[in-house]
């Protein structure tokens, strides 16, 4: 094979048989004319998209039934490599019979998977994934033309990995949820960086606005900052007064109930009594008054307004705030 031979075999081994067949014998190459569209009772849509990185370009033709928004026919012309032809042909096939809204949901991953011979073996080498991305992008251009909107309106997230269509938000969320520490782990979880690798770091196949190495570093820094903030909040909460003062009334009520459940209620129930919180109010003089009603044996106990009351108030002050007063009703 001379210069076309790779170590361990032919370069063609990296391409599925479907891709090779479509390179040489595309099934949907051609154009749809205005006359043909009218004969089908459809609206003709023509969209173009070009990839600056390699010079490839594709033109997509749709014949759309305006009553149902269904793409009754789809054709393409491709100006580029064999992979671009195969990807564009597959893209046109996937569009046919779908509504415009359904077609917009077709991703480059769908195109690449449709070209596989084996579900577990990629149809093209990593550096050729951008061809299927081009097919994805021209669909958006066609849909935008049909709907009279900007193609960017179909993309509401920042895409970091064009090959796998992985967004910035997804990558950051996965790093945080799984405590990822390496780019390899990000790739294992999201497939970002698994194909052309341009998004991993500068100097790859294409220049990117975001790189995994930078996203990982910044997200880890955010995680560390959040961790330190949580520790600081915990210390403030343990200190009591400041944290309790800043809570909403609902939050204060929940805090009081939690302390009573954990430290007081069991003691009262051992003697056949109990209590319920009737109300909680902030006063003009800076106190939080907790109104309680004794139940069971506690309701007639002599110490309910003295020793028991002081004990309850002391626990709440220790655990939450010195500015708490407990008032029995």
Nearest to 193 by CA among 177, 178, 209, 204: 204
Rounded alpha-carbon distances, angstroms, from residue 147 to 104, 135, 162, 230 = 11, 19, 24, 47
- What region, left, alpha or beta, does residue 69 occupy, with left being phi > 0 and alpha being psi -120 to 50 degrees? left
141: nearest Cα among 70, 48, 53, 25 = 48
> Which residue, 90, 61, 86, 65, is CA-closest to 75?
61
Query: Facing residues of 295 across strands?
Result: 274
Distance CA 143, CA 135 (A): 13
Catalytic residue among 54, 161, 199, 298: 54
298 classed as catalytic = no
Q: For strand 273-282 and strand 288-296, is the pairing parallel, antiparallel, or unpaired?
A: antiparallel
Q: Which of 161, 98, 96, 90 is nearest to 130 (CA)?
A: 161
The C-alpha atoms of residue 315 and residue 329 are separated, in whole angstroms, by: 19
Active site (annotated) includes residue 54? yes
Options 81, 95, 131, 298, the catalytic residue: 131
Residues with a catalytic annotation lie at: 54, 131
């Amino acid at each position: 094979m001379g210069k076309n031979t790779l170590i361990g075999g032919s370069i063609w081994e990296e391409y599925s048989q479907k891709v090779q067949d479509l390179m040489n014998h595309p099934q949907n190459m051609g154009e749809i004319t205005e006359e043909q569209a009218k004969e089908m009772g459809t609206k003709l849509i023509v969209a173009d998209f070009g990839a600056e990185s390699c010079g490839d370009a594709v033109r997509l033709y749709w014949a759309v039934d305006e009553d149902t928004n269904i793409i009754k026919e789809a054709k393409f012309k491709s100006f580029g490599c064999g992979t671009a032809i195969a990807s564009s042909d597959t893209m046109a096939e996937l569009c046919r019979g779908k509504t415009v809204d359904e077609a917009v949901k077709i991703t480059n991953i769908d195109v690449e998977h449709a070209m596989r011979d084996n579900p577990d073996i990629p149809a093209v080498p990593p550096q050729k994934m951008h061809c299927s991305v081009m097919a994805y992008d021209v669909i958006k251009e066609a849909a935008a033309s049909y709907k009279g909107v900007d193609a960017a309106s179909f993309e509401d997230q920042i895409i970091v990995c064009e090959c796998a269509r992985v967004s910035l938000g997804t990558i950051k969320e996965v790093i945080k949820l799984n405590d990822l520490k390496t780019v390899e782990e990000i790739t294992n979880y999201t497939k970002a960086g698994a194909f052309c690798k341009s998004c991993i770091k500068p100097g790859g196949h294409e220049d990117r606005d975001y790189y995994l190495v930078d996203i990982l570093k910044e997200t880890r820094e955010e995680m560390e900052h959040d961790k330190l903030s949580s520790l600081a909040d915990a210390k403030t909460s343990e200190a009591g007064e400041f944290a309790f003062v800043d809570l909403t009334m609902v939050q204060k009520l929940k805090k009081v109930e939690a302390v009573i459940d954990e430290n007081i209620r069991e003691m009262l129930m051992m003697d056949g009594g109990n209590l319920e919180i009737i109300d909680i109010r902030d006063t003009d003089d800076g106190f939080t008054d907790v109104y309680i009603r004794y139940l069971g044996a506690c309701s007639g106990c002599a110490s309910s307004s003295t020793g028991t009351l002081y004990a309850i108030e002391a626990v709440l002050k220790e655990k939450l705030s010195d500015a708490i007063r407990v008032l029995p009703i």
